[in-house]
Amino acid sequence: MNNTEKFEKLEGELNLSFNDKNLLIQAFCHRSYLNEHPDFDLGQNERLEFLGDAVLELVVTEHLFHNYPEKPEGDLTNWRAALVNTKMIASVAKRLGLGKYLLLSNGEKRERGKAKQYMLADTFEALIGAIYLDGGYRDAQKFIKDNLLIELPKIISLELFKDPKSELQEIAQEKVGITPTYEIIEESGPDHDKKFKMGVFLEEKKIGEGEGGSKKEAEEAAAKEALKKKFK
């Protein structure tokens, strides 16, 4: 199956119809692919990603502004951040099966963990940029509403927009007058797929620990555990 046939299949899966098929193919072209395929006559997807990121933020912001008129700016900002972060976008891209269509070098095909997550998120944004260029704002808006904004009710109901580190700091300072600190307990895995275990402490006492693919993720997991065990 050549690229044209392959991406026509993707159009059917995503309910899209591109006038310029090359825009769709380019949205999936990682820069590493060009190193092994110098005869490939399309560019890589980073410029499309740059455009798609801006379109995505505008569509999400507009949706929140019009649909939640009673909410203050702070709440809308937190909801938007929870919708457009790498983890959420990558999970949507994975659900849509975009990973099967990535054009990568043989080395990049073996990537897992955070590296793969970033590739999926970047490709999702590049796809939005391609849709915008090919069909205009309304087409891009529909794609984002159909595939990403459907996650918003879950984000709100489960309070996934809350920053556990900030919440823990505020509660700890109010109740015990101490600012939490974080320390690495364990670090493992190769450089491209590190795993961290972090502990959160009130002075010398550990009140929670958590794991993640970055120190930030592990700190957030530790803060969640501390909130649940110590302050809830």
Residues recognised as catalytic: 53, 125
Q: Return phi, psi of residue 109, to 5°.
A: -60, -25
Contact, 197 vs 209, CB < 8 A?
Answer: yes
What is d(CA 183, CA 149) in angstroms, rounded to the nearest whole number?
36
What is each CA distance from 158 to 82, 151, 153, 155, 164, in whole angstroms? 12, 11, 8, 6, 13
Contacts of 46 (CB under 8 A, 6+ apart): 31, 122, 126
Q: Residue 159, class by beta-carbon neighbours within 10 Å (0-12 exposed, 13-18 middle, 19+ buried)?
A: exposed
For 109-133, give one letter per residue: b (16+ CB within 10 A) or e.
eebeebebbebbbbbbbbbbbbbbb
